[in-house]
Structure 1
Amino acid sequence: MYVNRLQRLLMTQTSTQANANICQHLKRAAQNMPTGLAVAVQHAKQGQFTYQEIDFASLHQQSDMIAKGLIQYGITRGMKAVLMVTPSIEFFSLTFALFKAGIIPILVDPGMGIKNLKQCFEESQPDAFIGIPKAHIARRILGWGKGSVKQVINVGGSGLQRWLANATSLETITEIGRNEAYPFEMALLKPDDMAAILFTSGSTGTPKGVVYSHAMFEAQISALKDDYGIAPGERDLATFPLFSLFGPALGMASIVPDMDASKPITANPANLFAAIEQYQCSNMFVNPALLERLGQAGEQTQHKLNSVKRVISAGAPATISSIKRFSKMLNPGVQVLNSYGATESLPISMIGSDALFTTSELTDQGKGICVGKPISSVNISIIAISDQPMPRWDNVTPLAPNHIGEIVVSGPMVSQSYYQRQQATKNAKIFDGEVYRHRMGDVGYLDDDGLLWMCGRKGHIVDAKRGQQKLKRFYTIPCERVFNTHPQVKRSAIVGVEVAGDTVPVVCIELNKDIVCSTANVLYQDLIKLAEQYPHTEGINRFLIHPDFPVDVRHNAKIFREKLAVWAQAKWRE
C-alpha cells in the first residue's frame, strides 16, 4: 500500500529532526547480540578454506575507532569519500565508520570501465579516496579525483604495493582513533539528508550518481524484514558488496565467499558451497549469472543446499531454466525470490519461483516477464511512453491495465535525484506533492490482478518505419522470448537497421553451442514461422547470427544492444 497523505505529513514533520543513521541498527545488534557473528570472510587456497571472523560488538567498536581516526585525520562530516575496497572485514568496518562520521561514501562498480570511472569521479568531486593499492595506483596513473581529492587512505596489500599506493594506511587511521579516549557519538542526520552516492553500472547508458538518503536505506531494511522475512540471527551468503552491508544492519551475519564480486560468472562454486556449509547459511543473494553457474555445478555433483531457506535474485531477469536447475539444490518449498528494481529504486516488486513458473508459458508467447506485485509501501503506475520530461504528476494520466507503457514507481526507497545531473533528474523524476516518482526507463504493463509485466528498456524499442511513417512498434522482451523458445537459440536481440531509407527490425541470434545446428537458412525459416504465430512478432523476417553477444560483466545478462545495432547495420551493408 502506498504512503497515504497522513503518513506523508508525518514523514515531512520527522524529516526536520536529526535522528537518522543506518549504523543505529549496528549499535542495537552490538547491544543485543554482542558475541554474535557479524561477518565472516572466506580465504580459499588449493581447496582449503580459512575464515576471518568478527562479532557485532567488535565490528561496532572497530568502526567507532576508524570513524574517530578519519575525523582526526581531516575527513569530516559532509565530505565525500570514494570507497574502492574489496569485500573484507575492513570493507565493513570502513563503510560503517563513514556512515557513523556522517561522511558520504561514493560507491562505484569497478566493472564499468576506466572511462566511466574517471567520469564518475569528475562528477562527484570526492574529498578523499579510500582504496586497495591497485585502486590507488590506477588513481595516480589515470588522474582519478585530481583536483578534488585531498586525503588518501590505503587498505591492505604488500609492502611494495603500499609504497606504490603512496597513501596513509588504514592501520594508522585506526591507531589514531584508538588513541582518542573520548566515547564516539555517531552523527545523527535528517532522514532526507544525503547518506551515500551510488553510481549506476552504465550497462544501459551513462553511469549516473544516485543520491541515497538515510530514509532510503531505512526503507530498504524495512522491506528486507517485512517483505522478505529476514530475521536477526540468520546467516547470508553475501555475493554482492552493497547487499552484504544490510546483513549486520539486520542482525544477520554476512558470509563473504572468496570470489570476484565484480565478475560473479568467474566464481568457483566449490568456494560458495563450502561457505554455505561451514556457516549453515539460510539466505543467499545471487544475480542471474551466478544462479546459472551454481545451478550447473550443483547439477553435476548432485549438491544440496539444505540450510538455505531463501534465495534472492536481482540485477536482471533470470531464465526459467536457470531457476529450475538451481532449485534442484533447494529443499521443497524454498523459493527463489526474483526482485525487480534499479539502483534508483530497489526493491520494487517481487515474485517467487513457483509463481514465476506458472507464468512462463505466457512469457514464451511474448506476454513479457512477470515480476510480481509491488512490495509494501510501493506504488506502480504505467504511463504513455515519452522521451520528454514530465514535471508534475497531476498532469499525467496513468494507463489502464494491460496497456504497455513506461513503468513509474513511488515509495520511500525511491531516490529523489541524481548527483550533479540536473537534466537527468528532470528526465527521470515526476513531482507529486512532497515527493518525486521515478521513471524506471523500462516499459511494461499491469494486468487485471495488479501483477507487473516487464517488456524491456524504453530505449531499446524498435519502431519499424517507411521513411518517416511509423508502421509498427516492437518491444524487446515480448519479441525475443518467442524466438528464444527455438532449441538452437541461446538468446536473441531485436535491433533497428536502416535499409534503403526505411527502418526494419532485425533479430540478432546467438546460437546454443550445446546443440547441433541446422543451416542458417533452415533456422531462419523456422524463426519466420515462429514470428508469424503472434501479432507482436508478425513482420519480423530478418535475422543475423552473432558469435557471442556483448553483455555486462556483472550480470552476464544485460545485452549491449547499442553495440549489436552497430554490428547489424554494418553486416547488412556487406
Structure 2
Amino acid sequence: MNLAELLQAQARERPAAPAIIERGGTLTFAGLEHAAGQAAALLHADGVRAGDGVLVFQPMSGELYVILSALFRLGAVAVFLDPGMGRRHIEGCCAMYPPKAIIASWRAQLLIWSSPALRRIPRRYVCGRFFPGAVSLRRARRLSPLAHVTATSDATPALVTFTSGSTGTPKAALRTHGFLAVQHRVLARHLSLQAGEIDLATLPIFVLANLASGVTSLIPDADLRRPGAVDAVPVLAQVRRHRATRTAASPAFLERLVDHAERHGVSGLGGLRRVYTGGAPVFPALLRRLQEQAPDAVIEVVYGSTEAEPIAHGRWRSGECTGATSGPGRGLLAGRPVPEIGLRILPNRWGEPIGPFLEKEFDRVSLPHGAAGEIVVSGAHVLPGYLHGRGDEETKFDVDGRRWHRTGDAGYIDDEGRLWLLGRAGARIVDGKGEIYPFPVELAALEQPGVRRAALVSHRGRRVLVVEPSGIGTLHATELKKALAWSALDQVRGVPRIPLDKRHNAKVDYPALRSMLEKDPG
C-alpha cells in the first residue's frame, strides 16, 4: 500500500474535519488531499518520478504534509537532513543519496548558494513567494489534482533521514512504505489515537500517524528545532483556544510549558486527557509537575529511537512506570516493552561488532532478568539497516537470519517484565571500584535539594559527578557526596551549565562535558 492511500481514506471519511491547525489557518482532510494532488501534478509535469529523491527543507507545517503526501503519491522519496550541522554534513548526505530535486522555504533557498552539492540538484522549488531559479509551489493552485497514486510495495522507499554524523560519517535511515505503515499501526495502538481528537503535535513522524488516524494535529507556534527554548505563552494560548485533548512532546518542550504555568499561575494544560513524552530521559520530577498541571490527564513515558519507535511505554503512577528511583542502582523506569517488539539484554560490548548467532546461542548469551547490559530489539517496525549498509556493522546483527538492532542504551528487565534504563552503553564506567552506569547516580542526585541537572563521568580515572545548581536552595557538594556514598564518587563538582544535545535540549552531551572538564580540570 502507498501511504498516500491512508491519507486519502481519511479525506473520504471526514472531509470537513481539520487535519492541521497552525498559526496561518486550518487545513481540512479534504483540503490536504486536494492540495497534495495539485502539488503532485506540478511536480509530475516538471519531471519528478517514482524513486527520485527529493530533499525537503520545510519546517513542520501544513505545507510540509502537503509536500510529503504529494511525494508519496508520486512514489518519490522524501529526503531530510539537518542544515544546521553545516556544509560538510550537507555535502556528505547528498553524496550518499543524491537528490533529483529540492523543495525549500524561501529562507532555506539561501543555503543553496553556500553548498556545491545543493547547487548541483537539477530541480528547485520554493514554498511561498518567488525566489530566483526556483519554481513556486503556488503555481500548483492553478492545476487539476493528480488523481493517480503510484503503486508501491512494502519495500518501496518512502523517506530518508540522516543521523547527525557527530561521531563520524552520517548514516542514512531509509524507511519504506511498508515500514511506515507498520509503524503507524503500532503508534496508533499504543498512543490510543482516536479520530476527532486534537493533538498538540511536536514530532513530525507522529503527525503522519495522526493524519492516517483522523486525529487533528495542532502545530505549536514555536521553533521546534530548539524545544528547550520555546516561548510557552503562544503555545499555551493555542492549547486553550483550540481545546487540545492530547500531546506527544519531548521533556524539554513540556518543561518549558510547565515552568511558565508554575511561575505565572496560568492554566493551559488542564484540558489535556493524554500526555506522551519521550525522545530523551524523562525524570520523575517533571512527571510529577506535569500531573499537577494536567490533573485529569493520563501521562505516559514512551521509549524509542529513530530506528525503533516505540520500544516500550509505561503509565505514570500506574505500576507500569512509577518513576521510582529508590535504592542504589535502579535507574530510570521506561515501562513495558510493546508486544510487537522483541527485546533482549546482552552483555555490554558496545563498540565491538557482535553476532551472527544461532537461536540457541543467542538464548544462551542473553542476560536474565535483573542483569544489566546492552538493549537490543527486533521487529517489523525496527529499521533493518542503513542505506548502503553504512553503520550496520556497529548497530545490527542477525540471529538465524532475523535482523536485530543495538540501541546503544544500557538497561535491564525487572522481575515484573519492566524495562529500566541505565544510560548509554558507552557511558558505563568500569574502574577499580567496579562497574557503574550514569542514570542511577544522576537520578539520585536529582532528588537532592539544589540540583537542576547532574551528569556522571569518568575524568582522569576518577568518578566525577558534575552538577548544575537549580537556583533554589543551596548546593552542598559534601552532603550530596555523602547521600550518594553507595556510588563511591571521587568528586562532586558544580558548574553553571551542563551542556545538552542540540536536538532535544534534554540529553547530556557527554563528549562536550568531558571537553569542558579537560579545559578546566577544577
TM-score w.r.t. structure 2 length?
0.92
Aligned partner of 1:33 among 10, 14, 20: 14
Q: Is 1:143 paired with 2:96?
A: no
Q: Is 1:399 paired with 2:374?
A: no
2:466: which partner in 1? Answer: 508
1:550: which partner in 2? Answer: 499
Shift of 1:109: 3.8
User: Contact between 2:409 and 2:422, CA under 8 Å: does it hold in 1?
Assistant: yes
Q: Which has the higher contact order (CA 8 A, sep 6+)?
A: 1
Q: Is 1:457 paired with 2:430?
A: no
User: Contact between 1:130 and 1:153, CA under 8 Å: does it hold in 2?
Assistant: yes
2:51: which partner in 1? Answer: 78
Q: Is 1:156 paired with 2:120?
A: no
SS in 1 for 2:375: strand
SS in 1 for 2:311: strand
Listed as ranges, the matches of 1:244-283 within 5 Å are 244-283=207-246
Q: Distance in 2 between matches of 1:279 and 1:203?
A: 39
SS in 2 for 1:554: coil
Listed as ranges, the matches of 1:86-105 within 5 Å are 86-105=59-78
Q: For residues 553 and 427 of structure 1, do their structure 2 counterparts lie closer, same or farther at Cα, with a shift above 3 Å needed?
A: closer
TM-score w.r.t. structure 1 length?
0.84
Aligned residues: 516
Q: For residues 357 and 373 of structure 1, do their structure 2 counterparts lie closer, same or farther at Cα, with a shift above 3 Å needed?
A: closer
Aligned partner of 1:490 among 440, 449, 452: 452
User: Contact between 2:370 and 2:413, CA under 8 Å: does it hold in 1?
Assistant: yes
User: Contact between 1:550 and 1:564, CA under 8 Å: does it hold in 2?
Assistant: yes
Q: For residues 510 and 205 of structure 1, do their structure 2 counterparts lie closer, same or farther at Cα, with a shift above 3 Å needed?
A: farther
Shift of 1:150: 1.4
Name the aligned partner's letter for residue 464 of structure 2: V
Shift of 1:87: 2.4
Listed as ranges, the matches of 1:93-492 within 5 Å are 93-113=66-86, 115-147=88-120, 149-157=121-129, 162-163=131-132, 166-175=133-142, 178=143, 184-201=147-164, 207-299=170-262, 300-332=264-296, 334-355=297-318, 359-362=322-325, 365-386=328-349, 387-394=351-358, 395-396=361-362, 397-420=365-388, 422-464=389-431, 472-492=434-454
Shift of 1:359: 3.9
User: Contact between 1:265 and 1:556, CA under 8 Å: does it hold in 2?
Assistant: yes
SS in 2 for 1:265: helix
Q: For residues 137 and 512 of structure 1, do their structure 2 counterparts lie closer, same or farther at Cα, with a shift above 3 Å needed?
A: same
Q: Bigger shift: 101-110 or 374-383?
A: 101-110
Q: For residues 423 and 547 of structure 1, do their structure 2 counterparts lie closer, same or farther at Cα, with a shift above 3 Å needed?
A: same
SS in 1 for 2:309: strand
Q: Distance in 1 between matches of 2:258 and 2:247?
A: 13
User: Contact between 1:265 and 1:554, CA under 8 Å: does it hold in 2?
Assistant: no
Shift of 1:118: 4.0
Q: Bigger shift: 402-411 or 383-392?
A: 383-392
User: Contact between 1:73 and 1:173, CA under 8 Å: does it hold in 2?
Assistant: no
Q: Distance in 2 between matches of 1:561 and 1:571?
A: 15
User: Contact between 2:103 and 2:125, CA under 8 Å: does it hold in 1?
Assistant: yes
1:12: which partner in 2? Answer: none
SS in 1 for 2:325: helix
- RMSD between superposed Cα atoms in Å: 2.3
Listed as ranges, the matches of 1:518-537 within 5 Å are 523-532=476-485, 534=486, 537=487
User: Contact between 2:408 and 2:426, CA under 8 Å: does it hold in 1?
Assistant: yes
Q: Distance in 1 between matches of 2:43 and 2:283?
A: 45
Shift of 1:259: 0.9
User: Contact between 2:455 and 2:465, CA under 8 Å: does it hold in 1?
Assistant: yes
After superposition, what is the alpha-carbon deviation per residue over 1:531-563, rounded to whole angstroms, capped at 9, x for unaligned? 32x2xx12x212332221111233221111111
Q: Distance in 2 between matches of 1:508 and 1:153?
A: 48
Unaligned runs of 5+ in 2: none
User: Contact between 1:286 and 1:312, CA under 8 Å: does it hold in 2?
Assistant: yes
After superposition, what is the alpha-carbon deviation per residue over 1:294-324, rounded to whole angstroms, capped at 9, x for unaligned? 1122223241434321111121122222222
Q: Distance in 2 between matches of 1:567 and 1:513?
A: 21
Aligned partner of 1:57 among 19, 30, 54: 30
Shift of 1:446: 0.6
Q: Distance in 2 between matches of 1:205 and 1:474?
A: 27
Name the aligned partner's letter for residue 412 of structure 1: A
Q: Distance in 1 between matches of 2:450 and 2:272?
A: 34
Shift of 1:283: 1.7
Q: For residues 98 and 278 of structure 1, do their structure 2 counterparts lie closer, same or farther at Cα, with a shift above 3 Å needed?
A: same
SS in 1 for 2:511: helix
Q: Distance in 2 between matches of 1:423 and 1:95?
A: 26
User: Contact between 2:315 and 2:322, CA under 8 Å: does it hold in 1?
Assistant: no
Q: Bigger shift: 268-277 or 342-351?
A: 268-277
Q: Distance in 1 between matches of 2:231 and 2:101?
A: 34
After superposition, what is the alpha-carbon deviation per residue over 1:240-259, rounded to whole angstroms, capped at 9, x for unaligned? 23322322111111111211
Q: Distance in 2 between matches of 1:80 and 1:435?
A: 29
User: Contact between 2:221 and 2:235, CA under 8 Å: does it hold in 1?
Assistant: yes
User: Contact between 2:237 and 2:268, CA under 8 Å: does it hold in 1?
Assistant: no
Unaligned runs of 5+ in 1: 1-19, 43-50, 466-470, 518-522
Q: For residues 524 and 308 of structure 1, do their structure 2 counterparts lie closer, same or farther at Cα, with a shift above 3 Å needed?
A: closer
